[in-house]
Amino acid sequence: MPETGATYPLEVSILKDVATLTIDTTGPSLFKRGYRVAKGEAPLKENFAAALVLLTNWHNDLPFYDPTTGSGTIAIEAAMIGRNIAPGLHRNFAFEQFALTPSDLLAQVRDEAAAQENDAQLDIMGADINQEMVEIANNNAHQAGVLKQVRFKQLAVKDYKPESERGVIVSNPPYGKRLNDIQVARQLYKEMGEVYRPMTGWSKYILTSDLTFENSFGQKATKRRKLYNGTLRTDYFQYWAQRPKH
């Protein structure tokens, strides 16, 4: 390896009598995009939040709403997808410091990724009952470069009034895992049902580990999809929009 001041993070693993030395080319885990300066309670990993968006029928000319936004991860990932922003563009990788990485090639690859961004006008909103989370989400959106594409506001689920006929809701509400919290979570799912059931032009996608969610929501899901949020078994309850009548 060339003589430079560069450092090469090494990892050693030993299995039986064989030691393997590997160089870490990534640095912080790949799911970290580098924009999340602060988090709330039970934040989703960024790549998991992106997967939740990609599992919906959303495209970037439809309204998108996350009613339990916390630190804003789902709404920010939707904005990045909507504008085709490469997920690693706002972070660094360990290999960038390696002497054998050609800096001109690195700059070229970053420029190519940046050139693929579009300037689509997006209608994305995130809301949370907790004003502190709204400030955190705004900071994170600013870091991710999507502050102009996402609006965050303080709003309780029960007070939401849709501004358009069609759109997509993605929510990662509290799961009520702690003792005594399940009744509060189920009350929230009931409120979601009351507000969202009449919104038949909207598709709704709600992730929870409460597998009886449909009872509280008051409607059987169009489809349920089993997902692991880390090690926790959850279902992604999907309520598909009715097609517009012509």
Ligand X SMILES: C[S@@+](CC[C@H](N)C(=O)[O-])C[C@H]1O[C@@H](n2cnc3c(N)ncnc32)[C@H](O)[C@@H]1O
Nearer Cβ to ligand X (60/73)? 73
User: Residues with Cβ < 8 Å from 112, sequence gap 6 or more?
Assistant: none
* Chain residue at closest Cβ approach to ligand X: 70
Nearer Cβ to ligand X (53/221)? 53
Query: Which residues would be at the binding site for ligand X (CB under 6 A)?
Result: 39-44, 67-68, 70-71, 73-74, 128-130, 133, 156-157, 172-174, 188
- Strands 202-208 and 232-239 turn out to be antiparallel
Nearer Cβ to ligand X (60/171)? 171
Taking the complex as a whole, the smallest distance from the CB of residue 54 to ligand X amounts, in Å, to 15
Taking the complex as a whole, the smallest distance from the CB of residue 50 to ligand X amounts, in Å, to 11
* Cα–Cα dist 240/203, whole Å: 4
Nearer Cβ to ligand X (113/129)? 129
Positive or negative, the CA dihedral 138, 143, 144, 147 is: positive
Give 239's strand partners: 204
Tokens of residue 29, six digits: 């885990």
Give 171's strand partners: 206
CA angle, 45 as apex, 129 and 234 as ends, to 5°?
A: 80
Taking the complex as a whole, the smallest distance from the CB of residue 42 to ligand X amounts, in Å, to 4
Taking the complex as a whole, the smallest distance from the CB of residue 2 to ligand X amounts, in Å, to 41
